[in-house]
Chains A and B, each alone.
Chain A
Amino acid sequence: MNETIIQTNELTKYYNKGKANEVLAVSGVSVGIRHGDFAVLKGPSGSGKTTMLSLLGCMTRPTSGSITLEGRDISHLPERFLTDIRRTTYGFIFQQFHLIQGMSVLQNVMLPLYPTDVDLPKLKKKAEGLLEGIGMMKRRDFPVQGLSGGEQQRTAIARALINDPEIVLADEPTAHLDTALSRDFMAIMKDLWEKGKTVIIASHDPIVFENEYAALVVEMRDGAVRNVTRK
């Protein structure tokens, strides 16, 4: 289980390149993440963590440098194929949860796989299974806007897991939670990690990066890697 799943090489991302408001958000990052790693990107606000996650998670293409996912160079893929990879390999938990208002918990969890060839009854069963596992079954038909912050995040987690992702990404997951809920969240992540998923979290919260199982901590500053610790 120790071979590399994601390898970046001199990864660089500019926003608005060539314009007056050009920003170098990630600059020359080379890191390797292994199968079954529990990796944390840490660093102050504006250091490029979210951009890194976005690049690793196939949300955007690098300006230069490369990303290799299981040996396949994905840094030049058209968006259509990046979406395909996201759909099959990644689960993403956003900082602001991004649930769709007006829809139920169950529908929100099912949503990522609608445009695939699954049939809806099967998808529903699967979503219910995930809600069960995360203790949200009683809220199944609640519209999401009525949920508490912790419950919204659980819904978002279930949604991220609907496609059985190999890699789970989370951006500042504890930013809106109190300590108790933050620990709950980390317990869920640990559980996923123990089941063999690769977990990558961007955060500057010690609850996240000071865990004994956070095997890889990548410290970022001004878009570049300052320090890599592997336990």
Chain B
Amino acid sequence: MFMQPGIIALLLGSGITLVLLAYASFLGVKIWRNWDIGSNSEAQLALERKTYLVSTLVKYGLLFEIISVFLFIYTADDLHNLLVGAMCATGSLNANSFGFPALYAKIAVLFLAAGWIALDSLDSKAEDYPLTKKKYKLLLLMIPFVIAGYVLQIKYFGGIDPNVITSCCGVLFSEGGTGVGSSLASLPVHPTEVVFYSLFMIIFFVGVIALKSGRKLFMVLLAFLSAFFFFVSIAAIVSFISLYFYQIPTHHCPFDILQAGYYYAGYPLYVSLFAGSFFGTMAGVIQPLGRIKTLSAIIPAVQRRWTFIALAALTVFVLITLIPIVFSPFTLEGY
């Protein structure tokens, strides 16, 4: 199985990501253990300079991880030709029990790395680098996910047996099936639509109030809602948004929208969703950091900027989901 070019590329690319992030955490531990911001010694100066290397490694790691997530989905999609019963990436990922967990681990790394970079940028705005010890501890937290993503993908590709019939989105997301996938797909369309769009409206209003007032409560509320909205949106994509894009009442695959046949609509869709829920969540996550003296002046401005980005991105996301609903004759009346 490993001789597929896509898999070789993936193992190489994500292997490099793994090495970068592992090295970053190794340096992180070193910095964290010897850090003394009050000291003017040459050793402290050397550590300070190493922080730049760690930041760079994580940034590149995130960049490569993004490519590697797409490559993973493409490769899974490509493998469906090899698998009995698989019609798209959903079916391939379902070929054994490692496919989806590998994808989840990779997505977790995306969010963690992005969150880490956000904290890092915040930290470097305050003269005493108040988050240094915290952030290098967090870096260690990310490593298990990176390793898990890599190992799971090896197990996934290694475990693929072309002779075992897999169930594809039709079954996995079938309305009569069991499991998370099917329960997502069997979410009744109209109520899901209502929940999805009204939740967006709520977030939008909470966000606007948070922007206007800068009140703590609304920031924290926005964070919870944005994180929740991410999962609701994934459910909505599986439940009805994908159907409108494919114009087939039974095709629930969340991956096919990345393809040329659907005008690559999946890219802006997922990018705006990820960015929107990420910044919305982060705006509230950093709220407690406002208590740190050197950050207290910086946090509100950053929060406002992130809230603004979150609202803009989520609006774009929702608009994209509306395009096929509004402009195509296809309807889900009766489904």
Contact = CB atoms under 8 A, between A and B. Distances in A.
Q: Do chains A and B touch in the complex (CB under 8 A)?
A: yes
A80 interface: yes
A49 interface: no
A17 interface: yes
A76 B124 contact: no
B328 interface: no
B124 to A, nearest CB: 6
> How many residues of A sit at the interface, in one of the four size bands?
10 to 19
Contact of B38 (A17, A63, A76): A76
Contacts of A63: 40-41
Interface string A27-67: 00000000000000000000000000000000001111000
B129 interface: yes
Contacts of A17: 41-42
A75 interface: yes
B45 interface: yes
A79 interface: yes
A26 B2 CA distance: 63
B48 interface: yes
Interface residues of B, number: 11
B127 A62 contact: no
B45 A61 contact: yes
Interface core residue of A63, A64, A76, A79 (most chain B CB under 10 Å): A76
B40 A62 contact: yes
B40 A64 contact: yes
B40 A61 contact: yes
Contacts, number: 23
Contacts of B41: 17, 63
B325 interface: no
A80 B40 contact: no
A80 B124 contact: yes
Contacts of B140: none
A17 B43 CA distance: 10
Contacts of A62: 40
Contacts of B37: 76, 78
Contacts of B127: 77-78, 81
B48 A79 contact: yes
A61 B38 CA distance: 12
Given A80-B124, A81-B127, A75 B40 contact: yes
B54 to A, nearest CB: 14
Interface in A71-129: 75-81
A63 B129 CA distance: 20
**Which 5 A/B pairs are nearest by Cβ-Cβ distance?**
A61-B40, A81-B127, A78-B48, A63-B40, A77-B127
23 contacts: A16-B42, A17-B41, A17-B42, A61-B40, A61-B45, A62-B40, A63-B40, A63-B41, A64-B40, A75-B40, A76-B37, A76-B38, A76-B40, A77-B127, A78-B37, A78-B48, A78-B127, A78-B129, A79-B45, A79-B48, A79-B49, A80-B124, A81-B127
